[in-house]
Amino acid sequence: MAESDRSGRKVVATNRKARHEYHILETWEAGLVLRGPEVKSLRAGKVSFQDAFARIEGGEVWLYSLHIAPYEQANRENVDPTRTRKLLLRSSEIRKLVGSVEEKGNTLIPLDIYFRRGYAKVTLALARGKKLHDKREKLKRRTQEMEARRAMQSHR
């Protein structure tokens, strides 16, 4: 399930809805604090971003509502699939985030989860929600580009 890219990242899951629902303003790479069975489940790609978001509390960043399915073979050690998980960022990055998130309409969302050198990482994005007309505009533009490409190919 995981594909590898040039920087040694093995992407496990991507939040495909994020770029449709939000304008991405800035991104950060954050470490993800996990328990053993969660890592196994992540490597198998059993993760869902449905309604996942991050929040800053007490000078730390926490990831909420990320669903990591329980690992089948670890019956006793499995934890709550949607538990709150700590994200590891530098304190300077957290200070920068605090000011940005307090602006009206901004939120922190996970874009993807991957492994780099054996460590689970998450790409965290500062985002602002799109309005309905923005989404429609993007779909209309994409449809026009596709039709133009088709016309060029059939013209050959």
Per-residue pLDDT at 89: 92
Q: Identify the band that residue 9 occupies on the pLDDT scale cut at 50, 70 and 90.
A: confident
Could you report the per-residue pLDDT of 54-79, keeping only the tens digit for each? 999 988 999 999 888 888 777 776 77
Q: Identify the band that residue 132 occupies on the pLDDT scale cut at 50, 70 and 90.
A: confident
| Domains of the chain as residue ranges with CATH | 3-130 (2.40.280.10)
Question: What CA–CA distances, in Å, run from 30 to 1, 19, 78, 111, 150?
Answer: 22, 19, 23, 11, 41
Per-residue pLDDT at 34: 87
Enclosing H/E stretch for 152: helix 132-155
Measure the CA–CA gap between 70 and 153, rounded to whole angstroms: 48
Token reading at 90:
């530098």
Q: Phi, psi (5° rounding) for residue 49? A: -90, 5
Give the residue with greater pLDDT, 5 vs 91. Answer: 91
